[in-house]
Structure 1
Amino acid sequence: METLETAPVMLKTSQDINLIDGVFTATEAADIINSVLKVKINFHKLQRLSRTEGDFTDSCEYDNGRIDELISEQEIAKEFFGQARLEGKKLKMKSTIEIFIED
């Protein structure tokens, strides 16, 4: 009988996603950033809803800190992109998402 040896499987423990990398007009940059921020805000709102949905004993208290922070960032970005638009500037943006497996 023949025995087959297999190489050990190496599990990947991290991943980088190059999400944004380029030069954009102020309008394009604003569209990209607003889209990302809206998705994150909606994610947190859905998390809040799913934690309290159907639980009549829940006091519906939820830390809105992250949602408020993201909404504030939207306003800051709006002003920044508006200024760049008025000056006719292009914007270079880079964004990499780093993901790590935690034990």
Structure 2
Amino acid sequence: MKKEYQFKLVEGQFAPSEAGKVLFSLINSKINYHNLEIFSNQIRFDEEIPHSKIRIKTLLEASEYIKELIKEASSTDMELKIGSVIQIVLTPKIKTEMDV
């Protein structure tokens, strides 16, 4: 049986500077997480994590795009309406060779 949960992570209308604080805080937290994963795997297993490197690249691209949106909102006296829902689904673990 699959269990599913949803939580509102961010919801509201923000001035450009406040929107930047909220969004860049989330993005930087994710980038830091992936950098730590890369570092940890290199130290413990002398391996790279391609997924984390790809995610960091994607997050940096999103960050640049958001900077442009914030700049546009500031120059046109607009606010940013942000909504973010996190969805969590409890699912059975997929067994790998390491689990056997």
Structure 1 residue 62: Cα displacement: 3.3
> Aligned partners of 2:5 and 2:63: how far apart in 1?
27
Contact 2:14 2:82 in 1 (8 A): yes
Per-residue Cα deviation, 1:42-77 (whole angstroms, up to 9, x for no partner): 01111111111144xx2x533111111101110110
Structure 1 residue 92: Cα displacement: 1.0
Match of 1:5 in 2: none
- Higher-helix-fraction structure: 2
Report the AA paired with residue 28 of structure 2. Answer: K
Per-residue Cα deviation, 1:6-52 (whole angstroms, up to 9, x for no partner): xxxxx982221101111111111111000000000001111111111
Equivalent of residue 84 in structure 2, options 75, 83, 95: 95
Q: TM-score, normalised by structure 2?
A: 0.82
Equivalent of residue 25 in structure 1, options 2, 15, 28: 15
User: Which 4+ stretches in 1 moved above 6 angstroms?
Assistant: none
Structure with higher Rg: it is 1
Contact 2:2 2:89 in 1 (8 A): no
Q: TM-score, normalised by structure 1?
A: 0.79
Name the SS of the counterpart of 1:89 in structure 2. coil
Q: Please provide the CA RMSD for this pair.
A: 1.7
Gapped runs of 5+ residues in structure 2? Answer: 93-100
Contact 2:11 2:84 in 1 (8 A): yes
Q: Does 1:84 align with 2:73?
A: yes
Gapped runs of 5+ residues in structure 1? Answer: 1-10
